[in-house]
Amino acid sequence: MENAIQTLVAPFKRATLDDAARVSFLHRYDTKFVLGTEGVPAFLNAIKDNYSLLEIAGITAQTYNTFYFDTPDLLCFNLHHNKRARRFKFRTRKYMSNGKIYNEIKQKLNTGKTIKFRQRRDAMNTEPPVLPAINDLSVFDESFATLLKTNGYGNIVNLVPTLNVFFNRLTFLNNHFAERMTLDLGLGYGYNGATLKLNDTAIVELKRERGPQQTVAQGYFRSIHKCPSGFSKYTIGISLTHGEAKKNRFLPKIRHLAFERSAA
């Protein structure tokens, strides 16, 4: 599949990190679509004239490694499961292509807007470093606690690592207006000494600063009768790896997922 994707993305114009920075959208509206990987070639072919593909140091598929943190009773997960309009997630993410590490708070408002607060955590190139480097992404560090307090989450304590999430991401920029789109492939989870991979699942996410606007990508999904579908990597991962988690709301999605489980 990897070789096939590289062939399919060859016709796309290339975008740079500077291009992507102009549509970083830490405050944004998200729209997600879930595809089987067999549907990816037709999708990419349909959008190739209207989007540019982000390339960093000659690499187009960026690998992300993320640890999510939650309370021992899974507060963040349960807020989502119980359909709370205002909810949040906490994570430390490493961008494997450039080694940059960020602590992040991802907050969903009752307006449907997503807000992200982030703090860089790899050692900055200064003397002394602005922040010390993180050696273990699964460790909840003091600077993360400061990030929580600064942004109104100081009352949430005793956070523990609950899920490792990793995947490959292609990032596309709309050639005509401010929109960023991501295509995630090779989604996998790690927890309690085991790994689980969703090799046949692809997730497309449209990200804009303002509300929904019809685009070529949305037009394609409409043409194949594919509706937007909420797909939280974290909640699906917790549902698949934590037997004690209340998950009935997510079972319809899980039943349609093909995954492989293996010991670490």
Alpha-carbon dihedral sign for residues 137, 138, 141, 143: positive
Using CA atoms, how far residue 205 sits from 32, 121, 139, in Å, is 4, 26, 29
Helix (H) or strand (E) holding 144: helix 142-150
Write out the E strands in 157-256: 160-174, 180-191, 194-198, 201-208
| pLDDT value at residue 246 | 92
Q: 212: Cβ–Cβ under 8 A, 6 or more apart, which residues?
A: 29, 31, 218
Amino acid of residue 62: Q
Candidates 3.40.50.1370, 2.40.320.10, 2.40.160.40, 3.40.50.300; correct CATH number of 2-263?
A: 2.40.320.10
Which positions of the chain have pLDDT values less than 50?
none
Sign of CA dihedral 69, 61, 120, 33: negative
Residue 27's alpha-carbon distances to 53, 113, 190, 236, in angstroms, are 22, 7, 29, 23
Q: Exposed, middle or buried, 5 (CB in 10 Å: 0-12/13-18/19+)?
A: buried
Of residues 164, 162, 160, the one with CA closest to residue 189? 164
pLDDT of 71:
97
Question: Strand 51-54 to strand 62-70: parallel, antiparallel, or no bridges (unpaired)?
Answer: unpaired
Q: Is 214 exposed, middle or buried (0-12, 13-18, 19+ CB in 10 A)?
A: exposed
In the block, which residue shows the tokens 């600064």? Answer: 150
CA distance 140 to 121: 12
Please choose, from the candidates 93, 12, 21, 22, the residue with its C-alpha nearest in 3D space to the C-alpha of residue 60. 12
Place of tokens 């790994």: 195
Domain boundaries, the chain: 2-263
pLDDT digits (tens, 9 = 90+) for 36-94: 999 999 999 999 999 999 998 888 999 999 999 999 999 999 999 998 989 999 999 99
Q: How far apart are CA 6 and CA 10, in angstroms?
A: 6
